[in-house]
Structure 1
C-alpha cells in the first residue's frame, strides 16, 4: 500500500479545492493510502472529501504560529488585535516578513511533523502559501510534487526557495507553465502541464439537484460565478452592466460568490445605481442549477490558471462570454464553443448585446457544446508515475 500526503490551505469553495476533490475522487484506494493535511481544517467543501481520506490539520507546538503564517483569525476584535501585535513583534525580532516568505522559514521549527516517510508528498496549495514550504522542507518522502495554479506567478516569491525540493512541478495550463518558466527556466525539465480533473457527470447531476424558481425569471439573464476578488474582474462586470443600461438593453446580472472585495463591489453597484440590475446571491454550495438557467455566462477575469468554472459552464452548455486571456483561450475557440473579448467593459457590452439579440448564434454554440468531449482523466497517470 503506497502512502501519499497531500497538503493544502483549507477547503474553500474555489476552483483549486474543487480540482483537488476531483483528484481525490480519481485515486485508487485499494492501492494507496491518502492523508490530507490542511493548515485550517475547515471550509464549505470539507464534507466533500472522500471518506477514504484521512484529514488532518497541520499541527504547531503553539497554535499562535498558525496565525503568523496566514490571515489572523481571532475569536473577537480584542484577540485579533493582540495576535496582530504578537505577529508584528515576531517579525521585527526575527527580521522577517510575509511578502518574501521569510516568516515561513522562521516558523518551520514550530511545526509538529508526522513521523512517517511517505511514498509521495503533494503540495496542492500552489499560491505561495505556507503548506508549500512544509511539504518541501519538513515532510519526508521518496518523491515530492507541487502545483502551480495561476498564470500570474508573482506570489511565488514567497516560496521560490522551496522549488528545488520538488521532483515534479505541475502547472494547470500551458499558459501557467509558460509564465512559470519565464521566471524559473532552470526547472523546465521537471515541469509539465496537469489539467484539473473534472467529473462532468457530477456537474450535470448537480444541475438537476433542484429547480431555481425564486430568481432568474427574467428574459435576459447574465451570470458570473467565482470569488469576489480583483483577479475575477467583477469591477469590469459592473462597468459592463452600466454600458448595457445606457444602451437600454434589458438584462439582470446575477453574481454568485463571496470574497474580500464584496463591500467594494456593492459600493460600485450603488455608485452606478445598478441595485435592480445586479443581484448578489452570495456563495452557493451548488451553483450548477443557476448556471444551467442563465442566458449568457460571463467571465471577465484578469488572470486565471485553468478556470474550473469555464469547464463547468461548458459541461452545462452555457453560452460563454469571457476575457481573451491565454488560460481561457486554451478552452474557448472564439465563435465556436464560446466567445472571447478584450478585457474592457465596452467590448463585453457589445458582445453581450450582440448575443442577447441573436438567438441563432447562441443556439449554434449550445449545439457545439453538446458534442464537445471534456475528459482530463488521463492526467492522473502523471501522478501515478511518481509512485
Structure 2
C-alpha cells in the first residue's frame, strides 16, 4: 500500500512528535510511505527521513520530489508566495490556489491512502485529492480551534474526508457535537508513543543545558509558547510559590513568537522571577529534562492527547495538570498525578514539593505505568488504514 502523510511543517510540536512515533512503529515492509510538509521548515526532517521517504520539497520550494518546475513557473510561484504573505496580513487566504496547483503533481504518484496528520491547512490540502481514500487527524479541541480562528464548523471540508481520527474520546465527542453528520466516520485513537525510544533518549545527558543545573526541586513545562499552553501565566504562579519560601526552579522548554512570548517575558520581569523561571528554548530531545525533573506541570487551557504528560508517565515523572477537557483520560487525580484549575495550581505544586508521602505515592504509582501501543496499533491497522 502506498501512503502519503501531509503535515504543516517539521517544526517541534505534538504533531511531529506523533509522526515520529508513528513512523517508528509502522511496518515499513508492508507500506510505502511518503511525507510531505506544506511548509518545509523545522528541525525534524532528517529524523523522519531515517524511516520514510520525505518528499524533497514543499509549497515553499521550487520543486516537488526531484522534478524541476520550469523557470516561468518559478517566477509565478515566487510572486504568488509574496502575494500570499501580503494578503494574509489583511485576512485573505489564497492557500487554495497553491494547493490546487500542487495536488495534481502528487496525484501522479497514485497513492492508495492520503493522510492529513493535523486539522487546518493539512486537512484542507488533502481534501483536494480525488479518487483516493482520505483520512484526517484532529489533534485539538475542535470548538476551541474554531473560536480562536473565528471559523464556523467546516461541514463542506470534512464531507470530502473519508475517515476522521480524533486523538482522544473527549476530542471526538466535541468534534461530532459540531459535525454530527460525520459521527459515522469518526473514531478516537490515542497517539502512539515510542516508549523504548523515549527511555533510550532520556539517558543522553551530553547536551543538557548548563542552566538546567539545580540542586533543589526542578519543575518543567514543555510545549510551544502559544495562548493555549498559557505559559504567560507561569511567572505569576512562580511568584506565588516564591513567596512561600519554597526551594524550586521552573524550566520552560519550547519556542514561540508573537504576543504570547512577549507577554511571558514581560511577566517574568513584572514578577521578578528571572532566577526562578528559566526559558531553555526548543530542544529536539526534551526527554533528559523530563526524566531529571521532579515534576512536570501542564498549564494548558486545552489539550487533545497531551504528549508531554504521556512522556512524563513513561519516564516516571509526577505530573500536575490543569483541568482541561481530556485530562481525565490521561491522569487519575491523586493516583498518578494531581489535577487543578489554573487558579489553584500553585497549591497543588506546593503539595508535591512539601508533602513527601504524597509525592512518593504518586511517583511509585507512575513507575508501574506501561503505555498500551499494541491496542493502538491494532485499531490503526484494522479500523483505520485497512477499513
Name the TM tier (shorter chain). Answer: 0.7 to 0.9
Q: Which of the residues 368, 379, 382 maps onto 1:382?
A: 379
Gap change, CA 1:234 and 1:47, over 3 Å in 2: same
Q: Secondary structure at the match of 2:304?
A: coil
**Which blocks of at least 5 consecutive residues in structure 2 are unaligned?**
63-72
Q: Which of the residues 240, 252, 277 maps onto 1:255?
A: 252
What's the counterpart of residue 194 of structure 1? 189
Gap change, CA 1:106 and 1:220, over 3 Å in 2: same
1:313 equivalent in alignment to 2:312? yes
What's the counterpart of residue 166 of structure 2? 171
> Where do residues 85-96 of structure 1 align in structure 2 (5 Å cutoff)?
85=86, 87=87
**Conserved? CA contact 1:153–1:179, under 8 Å:** no
Q: Residue 65 of structure 1: CA displacement?
A: 5.8
What's the counterpart of residue 12 of structure 2? 13
What's the counterpart of residue 293 of structure 2? 294
**Conserved? CA contact 1:216–1:293, under 8 Å:** no
Deviations 1:68-120 (A, max 9, x none): 7xxx8xxxxxxx7x7644x369x8xxxx833xxxx343444332522132111
Q: Which of the residues 109, 122, 137 maps onto 1:116?
A: 109
Deviates more, 1:191-200 or 1:203-212: 203-212
Q: Secondary structure at the match of 1:117?
A: coil
Q: Secondary structure at the match of 2:112?
A: strand
**Conserved? CA contact 1:113–1:138, under 8 Å:** no
2-structure distance, mates of 1:350, 1:63: 59
Q: Residue 263 of structure 1: CA displacement?
A: 2.6
**Conserved? CA contact 2:233–2:264, under 8 Å:** no
**Conserved? CA contact 1:24–1:50, under 8 Å:** no
Deviations 1:229-268 (A, max 9, x none): 1111112222111111222223211111111232321111
Deviates more, 1:50-59 or 1:155-164: 155-164
Gap change, CA 1:65 and 1:348, over 3 Å in 2: farther
1:365 equivalent in alignment to 2:351? no
1:149 equivalent in alignment to 2:139? yes
Q: Residue 358 of structure 1: CA displacement?
A: 1.1
**Conserved? CA contact 1:146–1:170, under 8 Å:** yes
> Where do residues 95-106 of structure 1 align in structure 2 (5 Å cutoff)?
97-98=92-93, 103-106=94-97
Q: How many residues align?
A: 360
**Conserved? CA contact 2:214–2:249, under 8 Å:** no
What's the counterpart of residue 304 of structure 1? 303
**Conserved? CA contact 1:133–1:159, under 8 Å:** no
Task: Report runs of 4+ in structure 1 exceeding 4 Å deviation.
Answer: 59-68, 155-160
**Conserved? CA contact 1:123–1:145, under 8 Å:** yes
Q: Which of the residues 106, 120, 129 maps onto 1:138?
A: 129
Q: Secondary structure at the match of 2:269?
A: helix
Gap change, CA 1:356 and 1:66, over 3 Å in 2: farther
2-structure distance, mates of 1:326, 1:67: 43
Gap change, CA 1:67 and 1:217, over 3 Å in 2: farther
What's the counterpart of residue 175 of structure 2? 180
2-structure distance, mates of 1:230, 1:168: 29
Question: TM-score normalised to the size of structure 2?
Answer: 0.86
Aligned residues: CA RMSD: 2.5
2-structure distance, mates of 1:44, 1:106: 27
What's the counterpart of residue 27 of structure 2? 28
1:244 equivalent in alignment to 2:234? no
Question: TM-score normalised to the size of structure 1?
Answer: 0.86
**Which blocks of at least 5 consecutive residues in structure 1 are unaligned?**
73-79
**Conserved? CA contact 1:117–1:140, under 8 Å:** no
Q: Which of the residues 334, 346, 349 maps onto 2:346?
A: 349
1:216 equivalent in alignment to 2:213? yes
1-structure distance, mates of 2:75, 2:182: 35
2-structure distance, mates of 1:366, 1:343: 22
Q: Secondary structure at the match of 2:263?
A: helix
What's the counterpart of residue 229 of structure 1? 226
Q: Residue 163 of structure 1: CA displacement?
A: 0.7
Q: Residue 132 of structure 1: CA displacement?
A: 1.6
Gap change, CA 1:190 and 1:84, over 3 Å in 2: closer
